[in-house]
Amino acid sequence: MPVRRHLLTGFFAVSLALCLQPDGASAALVNVTSYDMNNGNGSTQFTFGYNYFDFSYTKTGQASPDPNASKNGSNQSVPNNAAPKDAPLSGGTGILTNGVIATQVYSLVSGPTGNVSNAFYTGPNQYVGWKYQDPTITFHLASGQYVGSIALYVAANNPAIGDLNGLVAAPKDVVLDVNGKPISATMSTTSLNAFTSVITLSGFGHISSDSLFSLTLDRGPLQQDGIDYYNDHVKGFDPAHPYDTSMCVGWCDPDTGPYSSGFRYEAAGGQTGDLLAGSGLEPWIMLSEVQFTAAVPESSTWIMMIAGFFGLGFMAYRRRGHTAQLATV
Protein backbone atom coordinates (compact mmCIF):
# COMPACT_ATOMS: atom_id res chain seq x y z
CA MET A 1 0.00 0.00 0.00
CA PRO A 2 2.37 2.77 -1.17
CA VAL A 3 -0.13 5.58 -0.65
CA ARG A 4 -0.82 4.48 2.90
CA ARG A 5 2.90 4.38 3.65
CA HIS A 6 3.30 7.89 2.23
CA LEU A 7 0.47 9.20 4.41
CA LEU A 8 1.94 7.64 7.54
CA THR A 9 5.45 8.84 6.73
CA GLY A 10 4.24 12.40 6.12
CA PHE A 11 2.20 12.47 9.33
CA PHE A 12 5.05 11.30 11.54
CA ALA A 13 7.55 13.63 9.85
CA VAL A 14 5.36 16.68 10.45
CA SER A 15 4.62 15.58 14.02
CA LEU A 16 8.32 15.16 14.77
CA ALA A 17 9.12 18.58 13.33
CA LEU A 18 6.47 20.20 15.51
CA CYS A 19 7.74 18.44 18.61
CA LEU A 20 11.22 19.78 17.95
CA GLN A 21 9.95 23.34 17.36
CA PRO A 22 9.77 25.58 20.48
CA ASP A 23 6.25 26.57 21.46
CA GLY A 24 5.43 30.10 20.28
CA ALA A 25 8.36 30.24 17.85
CA SER A 26 6.07 31.28 15.04
CA ALA A 27 4.04 33.75 17.10
CA ALA A 28 3.22 36.92 15.20
CA LEU A 29 2.08 40.37 16.28
CA VAL A 30 -1.55 41.38 15.93
CA ASN A 31 -1.83 44.73 14.17
CA VAL A 32 -3.24 47.65 16.17
CA THR A 33 -5.66 49.56 13.95
CA SER A 34 -6.16 52.41 16.45
CA TYR A 35 -5.91 53.31 20.11
CA ASP A 36 -7.71 55.85 22.28
CA MET A 37 -6.29 57.78 25.24
CA ASN A 38 -5.61 61.19 26.72
CA ASN A 39 -2.34 62.68 25.52
CA GLY A 40 0.74 62.82 27.72
CA ASN A 41 2.14 65.70 29.75
CA GLY A 42 5.08 68.07 29.43
CA SER A 43 6.36 71.56 30.05
CA THR A 44 3.23 72.70 31.90
CA GLN A 45 4.21 70.16 34.55
CA PHE A 46 7.74 71.53 35.19
CA THR A 47 9.84 69.48 32.74
CA PHE A 48 12.27 72.23 31.71
CA GLY A 49 10.56 72.46 28.34
CA TYR A 50 10.35 68.77 27.47
CA ASN A 51 7.02 67.46 26.16
CA TYR A 52 6.14 63.79 26.37
CA PHE A 53 3.25 63.93 23.90
CA ASP A 54 2.19 61.44 21.25
CA PHE A 55 3.35 63.89 18.60
CA SER A 56 2.91 61.52 15.65
CA TYR A 57 -0.65 60.40 16.51
CA THR A 58 -2.62 60.45 13.26
CA LYS A 59 -6.23 59.46 12.65
CA THR A 60 -6.81 56.66 10.17
CA GLY A 61 -7.14 58.08 6.68
CA GLN A 62 -5.53 61.41 7.56
CA ALA A 63 -2.20 62.63 6.20
CA SER A 64 -1.10 64.78 9.13
CA PRO A 65 -1.12 64.35 12.91
CA ASP A 66 -4.24 65.02 14.94
CA PRO A 67 -4.38 68.60 16.30
CA ASN A 68 -4.42 67.20 19.85
CA ALA A 69 -1.20 65.27 19.21
CA SER A 70 0.85 68.36 20.05
CA LYS A 71 -1.29 69.42 23.03
CA ASN A 72 -0.75 68.69 26.71
CA GLY A 73 -3.15 66.13 28.13
CA SER A 74 -3.67 68.42 31.14
CA ASN A 75 -3.72 72.19 31.38
CA GLN A 76 -3.08 71.89 35.11
CA SER A 77 0.47 72.18 36.42
CA VAL A 78 -0.40 69.51 38.97
CA PRO A 79 -2.59 66.94 37.19
CA ASN A 80 -4.11 63.82 38.69
CA ASN A 81 -6.53 61.06 37.71
CA ALA A 82 -9.55 63.29 38.39
CA ALA A 83 -8.29 66.19 36.27
CA PRO A 84 -10.06 67.00 32.97
CA LYS A 85 -8.73 65.21 29.90
CA ASP A 86 -7.63 68.19 27.81
CA ALA A 87 -6.20 66.42 24.74
CA PRO A 88 -8.12 63.21 23.97
CA LEU A 89 -6.86 61.12 21.07
CA SER A 90 -8.99 58.56 19.22
CA GLY A 91 -9.30 56.80 15.90
CA GLY A 92 -5.62 56.66 15.04
CA THR A 93 -2.15 55.46 15.94
CA GLY A 94 1.16 57.05 16.90
CA ILE A 95 4.30 56.52 18.94
CA LEU A 96 2.93 53.63 20.98
CA THR A 97 2.49 51.28 18.00
CA ASN A 98 5.06 52.47 15.47
CA GLY A 99 7.36 49.51 16.04
CA VAL A 100 10.13 51.59 17.64
CA ILE A 101 11.20 50.40 21.09
CA ALA A 102 13.21 52.93 23.08
CA THR A 103 16.47 51.57 24.46
CA GLN A 104 18.16 54.76 25.70
CA VAL A 105 17.37 56.83 28.77
CA TYR A 106 14.09 58.62 28.10
CA SER A 107 15.57 62.12 28.31
CA LEU A 108 17.87 61.45 25.33
CA VAL A 109 15.02 60.37 23.03
CA SER A 110 12.56 63.11 24.01
CA GLY A 111 12.34 66.82 23.31
CA PRO A 112 10.06 69.87 23.26
CA THR A 113 8.69 69.58 19.72
CA GLY A 114 8.53 65.91 18.79
CA ASN A 115 11.89 65.81 17.03
CA VAL A 116 15.14 65.29 18.89
CA SER A 117 18.70 66.13 17.92
CA ASN A 118 21.57 65.64 20.34
CA ALA A 119 24.94 63.94 20.49
CA PHE A 120 23.32 60.55 21.17
CA TYR A 121 20.15 60.50 19.09
CA THR A 122 18.49 62.26 16.18
CA GLY A 123 14.89 61.46 15.30
CA PRO A 124 11.31 61.62 16.57
CA ASN A 125 10.33 61.35 20.24
CA GLN A 126 10.13 57.77 21.47
CA TYR A 127 8.10 58.12 24.68
CA VAL A 128 4.68 59.28 25.82
CA GLY A 129 4.65 60.24 29.50
CA TRP A 130 2.05 61.01 32.18
CA LYS A 131 2.62 62.72 35.52
CA TYR A 132 0.67 61.90 38.69
CA GLN A 133 -1.76 59.78 36.64
CA ASP A 134 -2.60 56.16 35.89
CA PRO A 135 -3.39 56.38 32.16
CA THR A 136 -5.91 54.11 30.45
CA ILE A 137 -5.39 53.23 26.79
CA THR A 138 -7.98 51.37 24.71
CA PHE A 139 -6.75 49.37 21.71
CA HIS A 140 -8.63 48.30 18.58
CA LEU A 141 -6.99 45.37 16.80
CA ALA A 142 -7.17 43.75 13.38
CA SER A 143 -10.00 41.21 13.43
CA GLY A 144 -9.93 37.48 12.91
CA GLN A 145 -7.08 36.55 15.26
CA TYR A 146 -6.53 35.64 18.90
CA VAL A 147 -4.31 37.41 21.42
CA GLY A 148 -2.14 35.29 23.70
CA SER A 149 0.03 37.92 25.40
CA ILE A 150 0.64 41.67 25.59
CA ALA A 151 3.99 43.45 26.00
CA LEU A 152 4.56 47.03 27.16
CA TYR A 153 7.95 48.70 26.85
CA VAL A 154 8.39 51.35 29.53
CA ALA A 155 11.14 53.57 30.92
CA ALA A 156 12.91 51.90 33.82
CA ASN A 157 14.37 53.52 36.92
CA ASN A 158 18.11 52.87 36.70
CA PRO A 159 19.82 53.03 40.13
CA ALA A 160 23.18 53.59 38.43
CA ILE A 161 22.22 57.13 37.40
CA GLY A 162 20.59 58.07 40.71
CA ASP A 163 18.65 61.32 40.72
CA LEU A 164 19.15 61.68 36.95
CA ASN A 165 16.24 59.27 36.57
CA GLY A 166 14.07 62.36 36.80
CA LEU A 167 11.28 60.83 38.94
CA VAL A 168 10.41 58.20 36.31
CA ALA A 169 9.79 54.50 36.95
CA ALA A 170 7.96 51.52 35.51
CA PRO A 171 4.33 50.96 36.56
CA LYS A 172 3.78 48.63 39.49
CA ASP A 173 0.73 47.09 37.81
CA VAL A 174 -1.08 46.99 34.48
CA VAL A 175 -4.80 46.25 34.65
CA LEU A 176 -6.38 44.52 31.64
CA ASP A 177 -10.03 45.03 30.69
CA VAL A 178 -11.62 43.33 27.69
CA ASN A 179 -14.90 44.70 26.41
CA GLY A 180 -15.22 46.67 29.63
CA LYS A 181 -14.71 43.70 31.96
CA PRO A 182 -11.60 43.05 34.09
CA ILE A 183 -9.55 40.06 32.99
CA SER A 184 -7.18 38.18 35.27
CA ALA A 185 -3.67 38.08 33.82
CA THR A 186 -0.19 37.12 34.95
CA MET A 187 2.17 40.11 34.91
CA SER A 188 5.93 39.81 34.69
CA THR A 189 8.53 42.57 34.45
CA THR A 190 11.93 41.99 32.89
CA SER A 191 14.78 44.27 31.82
CA LEU A 192 15.40 44.87 28.14
CA ASN A 193 18.40 46.90 29.27
CA ALA A 194 19.27 49.33 32.08
CA PHE A 195 16.86 51.96 30.76
CA THR A 196 13.92 49.92 29.45
CA SER A 197 11.64 47.44 31.19
CA VAL A 198 9.32 44.97 29.47
CA ILE A 199 5.99 44.29 31.15
CA THR A 200 4.31 41.13 29.83
CA LEU A 201 0.69 40.17 30.44
CA SER A 202 -0.16 36.53 29.79
CA GLY A 203 -2.07 33.61 31.26
CA PHE A 204 -5.48 34.88 30.14
CA GLY A 205 -5.98 32.27 27.44
CA HIS A 206 -6.81 33.19 23.87
CA ILE A 207 -8.92 36.33 23.45
CA SER A 208 -10.45 37.33 20.13
CA SER A 209 -8.78 40.33 18.51
CA ASP A 210 -12.29 41.59 17.69
CA SER A 211 -12.51 42.58 21.37
CA LEU A 212 -11.67 45.98 22.88
CA PHE A 213 -8.50 45.80 24.99
CA SER A 214 -8.01 48.47 27.68
CA LEU A 215 -4.80 48.79 29.67
CA THR A 216 -4.52 50.91 32.81
CA LEU A 217 -0.98 51.62 33.98
CA ASP A 218 -0.73 52.13 37.75
CA ARG A 219 2.21 54.14 39.07
CA GLY A 220 4.87 52.34 41.04
CA PRO A 221 6.30 53.19 44.49
CA LEU A 222 8.76 56.02 45.06
CA GLN A 223 12.27 55.11 43.97
CA GLN A 224 15.45 56.48 45.52
CA ASP A 225 15.39 59.58 43.31
CA GLY A 226 11.86 60.34 44.54
CA ILE A 227 12.87 59.79 48.15
CA ASP A 228 15.86 62.09 47.66
CA TYR A 229 13.66 64.75 46.09
CA TYR A 230 11.27 64.64 49.05
CA ASN A 231 14.06 64.81 51.62
CA ASP A 232 15.91 67.62 49.82
CA HIS A 233 13.09 69.85 48.59
CA VAL A 234 9.75 68.93 50.19
CA LYS A 235 10.20 67.79 53.79
CA GLY A 236 11.86 71.05 54.88
CA PHE A 237 9.21 73.38 53.45
CA ASP A 238 7.46 75.38 56.16
CA PRO A 239 4.14 76.90 55.01
CA ALA A 240 4.37 79.41 57.88
CA HIS A 241 7.62 80.70 56.37
CA PRO A 242 7.28 79.94 52.64
CA TYR A 243 10.41 81.86 51.63
CA ASP A 244 12.68 80.19 54.17
CA THR A 245 14.81 77.62 52.33
CA SER A 246 17.20 76.89 55.17
CA MET A 247 15.72 73.44 55.77
CA CYS A 248 15.92 72.47 52.08
CA VAL A 249 18.84 71.70 49.81
CA GLY A 250 19.08 74.73 47.55
CA TRP A 251 15.36 75.39 47.25
CA CYS A 252 12.02 74.22 48.58
CA ASP A 253 9.09 72.82 46.60
CA PRO A 254 6.03 74.55 48.15
CA ASP A 255 2.88 72.62 48.93
CA THR A 256 0.58 74.89 46.93
CA GLY A 257 0.68 77.86 44.60
CA PRO A 258 1.98 78.48 41.09
CA TYR A 259 5.50 77.26 41.91
CA SER A 260 4.41 74.01 43.52
CA SER A 261 5.07 70.77 41.63
CA GLY A 262 2.47 69.05 43.80
CA PHE A 263 4.94 66.46 45.01
CA ARG A 264 3.86 66.37 48.66
CA TYR A 265 0.25 65.48 47.90
CA GLU A 266 0.47 63.66 44.56
CA ALA A 267 3.68 61.68 45.15
CA ALA A 268 4.22 61.58 48.93
CA GLY A 269 0.56 61.17 49.87
CA GLY A 270 0.49 64.34 51.95
CA GLN A 271 3.14 63.14 54.38
CA THR A 272 5.22 65.46 56.53
CA GLY A 273 8.41 64.58 58.34
CA ASP A 274 10.18 61.35 57.39
CA LEU A 275 8.59 59.22 54.70
CA LEU A 276 7.10 55.91 55.75
CA ALA A 277 9.04 53.01 54.28
CA GLY A 278 7.60 51.85 50.96
CA SER A 279 5.15 54.74 50.75
CA GLY A 280 4.48 57.22 48.00
CA LEU A 281 4.23 56.93 44.22
CA GLU A 282 6.84 57.81 41.61
CA PRO A 283 5.50 60.84 39.67
CA TRP A 284 6.05 59.77 36.05
CA ILE A 285 5.23 56.82 33.79
CA MET A 286 6.88 56.73 30.34
CA LEU A 287 5.56 54.33 27.68
CA SER A 288 7.37 53.61 24.41
CA GLU A 289 5.60 50.70 22.69
CA VAL A 290 2.72 48.23 23.15
CA GLN A 291 2.59 44.93 21.27
CA PHE A 292 -0.11 42.27 21.09
CA THR A 293 1.14 38.78 20.27
CA ALA A 294 -1.09 36.31 18.45
CA ALA A 295 -1.96 33.12 20.30
CA VAL A 296 -0.18 30.08 18.84
CA PRO A 297 -1.49 26.55 19.52
CA GLU A 298 0.83 24.27 21.49
CA SER A 299 2.68 21.60 19.51
CA SER A 300 0.40 18.93 20.97
CA THR A 301 -2.61 20.82 19.65
CA TRP A 302 -1.09 20.98 16.17
CA ILE A 303 -0.42 17.24 16.28
CA MET A 304 -4.02 16.52 17.28
CA MET A 305 -5.25 18.69 14.42
CA ILE A 306 -2.95 17.02 11.91
CA ALA A 307 -3.95 13.59 13.22
CA GLY A 308 -7.56 14.52 12.58
CA PHE A 309 -6.78 15.64 9.05
CA PHE A 310 -4.76 12.45 8.52
CA GLY A 311 -7.70 10.36 9.69
CA LEU A 312 -10.09 12.11 7.35
CA GLY A 313 -7.68 11.74 4.45
CA PHE A 314 -7.08 8.08 5.18
CA MET A 315 -10.82 7.35 5.35
CA ALA A 316 -11.30 9.14 2.04
CA TYR A 317 -8.48 7.03 0.58
CA ARG A 318 -10.11 3.82 1.88
CA ARG A 319 -13.45 4.82 0.39
CA ARG A 320 -11.82 5.51 -2.97
CA GLY A 321 -10.05 2.17 -2.86
CA HIS A 322 -13.27 0.36 -1.93
CA THR A 323 -15.14 2.08 -4.76
CA ALA A 324 -12.42 1.09 -7.23
CA GLN A 325 -12.66 -2.56 -6.12
CA LEU A 326 -16.43 -2.56 -6.62
CA ALA A 327 -15.99 -1.10 -10.09
CA THR A 328 -13.79 -4.04 -11.12
CA VAL A 329 -16.26 -6.69 -9.93
Q: Are residues 59 and 157 in the same domain?
A: yes
Residues 193 and 99 in one domain: yes
DSSP state letter for 195: T
Give yes or no: residues 240 and 141 share one domain: no
Residues 35 and 122 in one domain: yes
For residue 81, tell me if it sits in a domain: yes
Establish if 193 belongs to a structural domain. yes
CB 215, CB 139: distance < 8 Å = yes
| pLDDT under 50: residue ranges of the chain | 1, 3, 7-9, 11-25, 299-303, 305, 307, 309, 314, 322-329
Model pLDDT, residue 18: 43
Q: Give the Cα separation of 278 and 4 in Å (integer).
A: 68
Quick one: 157 and 237 in the same domain?
no
The predicted pLDDT at position 27 comes to 78
Phi-psi region of 24 (alpha: psi -120 to 50; beta: other; left: phi over 0): left
- Are 120 and 208 within one domain? yes
Q: How far is CA 190 from the centre of its chain?
A: 13
Kindly state the helix (H) or strand (E) to which residue 238 belongs, with its residue range: none
State the Cα–Cα distance between residues 44 and 262, nearest whole angstrom. Answer: 12
Q: Do the domain assignments include residue 256?
A: yes
Enter the DSSP assignment of 246. Answer: T
- Whether residue 102 is contained in a domain is answered as yes
Considering the domain boundaries, does residue 268 fall inside one?
Answer: yes
d(CA 217, CA 192): 19
**Same domain for 174 and 312?**
no
Residues 17 and 146 in one domain: no
Range of the domain at 107: 29-221+283-294
Question: Is 299 domain-assigned?
Answer: no
Residues 51, 165, single domain; the answer is yes
Whether 149 contacts 201, CB under 8 Å: yes
Biggest distance spanned by C-alpha atoms of the chain: 112
Phi-psi region at 44: left, alpha or beta (left = phi > 0; alpha = psi -120 to 50): alpha
Do 44 and 158 belong to one domain?
yes
Task: Report the distance separating Cα 206 and Cα 231, nearest Å.
Answer: 47
Asked if residue 118 and residue 10 are part of one domain, the reply reads no
Q: What domain count does the chain have?
A: 3
CATH number where 103 lies: 2.60.120.1190
Per-residue confidence (pLDDT) for residue 15, from 0 to 100? 47
Question: Do 183 and 94 reside in the same domain of the chain?
Answer: yes
